[in-house]
Homo-oligomer: A and B are copies of this chain.
Amino acid sequence: PGVVDAVPVSKPFKLVGREFHPEPTVVRVGDVDIGAGAFTVMAGPCSVESEAQLMETAEAVLAAGARMLRGGAFKPRTSPYSFRGLGEEGLKLLARARERYGLPVVTEVMNIEDVGLVSEYADMLQIGARNMQNYGLLEMAGRTGRPVLLKRGLSSTIEEWLLAAEYILSQGNNDVVLCERGIRTYETYTRFTLDISAVPLARELSHLPVVVDPSQATGRWSLVAPMAAAALAAEADGLIVEVHPHPEHALSDGAQSLTPKNFAAMMARLRTLAEPLGRRI
């Protein structure tokens, strides 16, 4: 319509493409919708550390308006000597938090042989950035029928990310939510560079919902709220955010975790923005 076609994009994907499925997909997790105009906030600690820590966090994020609980039980760590999560004990705590607070749970699964176990406890399976091209894991997650949160690989192109989703959809599972979580660049003041432009672009190319992880991306709690607002303004379908009652004692990622108080302040600001945009939180 009177405009130049932008940089042409080859589209090697099929099932994830807008051409194949023109209507935006809405992914339902428990009683929560991702897509369809909602701005869905998932929040919780980086790692599940103890019952007290998890329950305190869940109560706080629910009160502030989060609709889902996040928390890692199996943690991919660069060093084999770092804290690697509580494993099944962590999954049980997440399930207990869901019972108590009614928040559906999203948690990472790292290995094919854990897919069954994690699916018993979790409402949504997270596939992390380092596993975005672990094709066996993608296909296994596809076969469970559970909703999947698929993080963009830390140096994956948008095309590779959509093709990773294609692996899941090709197994008959359409309930995939894409998650932009920052890409690796030369910049060192931030942990990664959050590629907000990936949000409208992925939504242009695909029918799948797209959420943003401003905590992992920036590595700095002071940047989480502004980047969350940017994600909403750029029409993301939601957020996944790290919250910890005592970031200074967190076993992982304290520097990027919000306190419950800062999380509540962020949610208030997001609500102010959501209304004129016709979005609900």
Contacts and interface: CB of A to CB of B under 8 A. Distances in A.
Copies of this polypeptide in the complex: 4
Contacts of A273: 233, 273, 276-277
Contact of A272 (B197, B272, B276): B276
Interface string A193-235: 1111111110010000000000001111111001101111111
Interface residues of A, number: 88
Interface in A132-189: 133-136, 154-155, 157-160, 163, 166-167, 170, 183-189
Nearest to A15: B80
Interface of A: 1-7, 9, 12-14, 76-81, 110-113, 130-131, 133-136, 154-155, 157-160, 163, 166-167, 170, 183-191, 193-201, 204, 217-223, 226-227, 229-235, 246-248, 250, 254-257, 259, 261-262, 272-273, 275-277
Nearest to A132: B130
A140 to B, nearest CB: 9
A81 B15 CA distance: 11
A131 B185 CA distance: 20
A211 to B, nearest CB: 15
Contact of A230 (B14, B77, B79, B196): B196
A252 to B, nearest CB: 12
